[in-house]
Amino acid sequence: MSVHKSDIKKVTTHQLAAMKERGEKISMLTAYDYSMAKIIDGAGIDVILVGDSASNVMAGNETTLPITLDHMIYHATSVVNAVDRALVVVDIPFGSYQGSSTEALRSAIRIMKESGGHAVKVEGGKEIEDSVKRILSAGIPVMGHLGLTPQSIYKFGTYTVRAKEEAEAQKLIDDAKLLEELGCFALVLEKIPSALAERVAKELTIPVIGIGAGSGVDGQVLVVHDMLGITQDFKPRFLRRYANIGGMMTEAVQHYIQDVKSVDFPNEKEQY
């Protein structure tokens, strides 16, 4: 029996909270285009993050900093067009919310209106409190992001594990509690000690999603190009590759080249 769009139960922020309450882990992956998002959503993922990591995997930039708000809206629109079930969260890119709460609200509204996304994600804690408040005041769901924050990479100067020292760990805990108090519906913790991440997840009532933060959190997120083996050079400890799509694509392209040059393609059945 076929399933119609109207029969598909969409994932909401309320459902994510309920999942945490009953101990069900939350699955989250990135996507940046229609075709990939269609596959991921159809497989049953809970949350799709239109990450500013598009700057790296789609545009080839060294960091996430160069991607613009217009770029993010373009990618988010493509993803939303493909999705029937998953909650779509969109990163507000660097330089689009740090300047002022007014700028933050304007950026978030553009994302929601122009892409049709369901929520936005921002990096930081106390330092962006006013921006988070302003976005939430407009009724826009906000997901926080603490720990390793790629938009601040030049400040830290390294992608090593964050919050190993007591002072930084305490700040992370304080920031996490602040984001919850402000009204964020969920929080991403990136590349921090697993014990700290587990503590935060236990002390917060909102879902905590980890990437390189151990198994004691409420869910996991990975960059889809990394977990599928499309990217080859990125090999952090926390990454598990579930396929070698990059290798398969290389073999397929090489086979195609061989068939074209040998005039094996197209054969008689492939012509008009």
Nearest one of 51, 145, 45 to 87, comparing CA atoms? 45
Residue 170 and residue 108: Cα distance in Å, rounded? 29
**Does the annotation mark 114 as catalytic?**
no
Helices (H), 53-193: 54-57, 69-82, 101-115, 129-137, 153-156, 166-182
From 24, 114, 123, 190, active-site residue: 190
Chain-centroid distance, C-alpha 69: 16
Q: Are 69 and 94 a contacting pair, CB within 8 Å?
A: no
**Cβ contacts of 133 within 8 Å, gap of 6 or more:** 101, 182
Q: Which residues are catalytic?
A: 190
